[in-house]
Amino acid sequence: MNKQAIFHQPKSNYCYAYNKDTIHIRLRAAKGDLDSVILVYGDKYDWANNRESSMEITYSDKLFDYFTVSIKAPNNRLSYYFILKKGNETGYYTEIGFFENLDNEDIYIHFFNYPYVNEGDIHTVPEWVKDAVFYQIFPERFSNGDKSNDTCVTEEWGSLPKSDSFFGGDLRGIIDNIDHIVDLGINAIYLNPVFESDSNHKYDTTDYYKIDPHFGDLETMKELVDKCHSKGIKVIFDAVFNHSGYNFKPFQHVLENGDKSHYYNWFHINKLPIEIEPPSYETFAFTHKMPKFNVSNDEVKEYLLGVAKYWIKEVGIDGWRLDVADEVEHDFWRDFRKVVKKANKDAYIVGEIWHDSLPWLMGDQFDGIMNYPVTRVCLKYFAQNSIKDIDFMESIDNAFIKNTYQVNEVMLNLLDSHDTPRFLTECNGNYKKLLLAISFLMTYIGAPCIYYGTEIGLEGGKDPDCRRTMIWDRSKWNNDIYSSIKKLISLRREHEALRRGKFKWLKDLNGVLGYTRESDNEKVLVLINNSNQTKNVNLIEYFNECVDLLNSKKVVSKEGKMDIIMAEYSYKIFSVL
Catalytic residue annotation: 323, 352
Using CA atoms, how far apart are residues 348 and 136, in angstroms rounded to an integer?
Answer: 15
232 C-beta neighbours (distance < 10 Å), count: 10
Among candidate residues 188, 273, 205, 216, the one with its CA nearest the CA of residue 242: 205
Asked if residue 19 lies in contact with residue 122, where contact means CB atoms within 8 angstroms, the answer is yes
**Three-class SS of 379-397:** HHHHHCCCCCHHHHHHHHH
Q: Are strands 15-19 and 348-351 parallel, antiparallel or unpaired?
A: unpaired
Which distant-in-sequence residues (6+ apart) come within 8 Å of 148 by Cβ? Answer: none
Asked if residue 115 lies in contact with residue 147, where contact means CB atoms within 8 angstroms, the answer is no
Q: Please tell me the chain's helix, strand, coil percentages from 3-state DSSP, rounded to the nearest 5.
A: 30, 25, 40
Using CA atoms, how far apart are residues 427 and 455, in angstroms rounded to an integer?
Answer: 15
Q: Is the dihedral of CA 304, 308, 313, 314 positive or negative?
A: positive
Using CA atoms, how far apart are residues 565 and 204, in angstroms rounded to an integer?
Answer: 52
Asked if residue 352 lies in contact with residue 324, where contact means CB atoms within 8 angstroms, the answer is yes
Radius of gyration of the chain (CA): 26
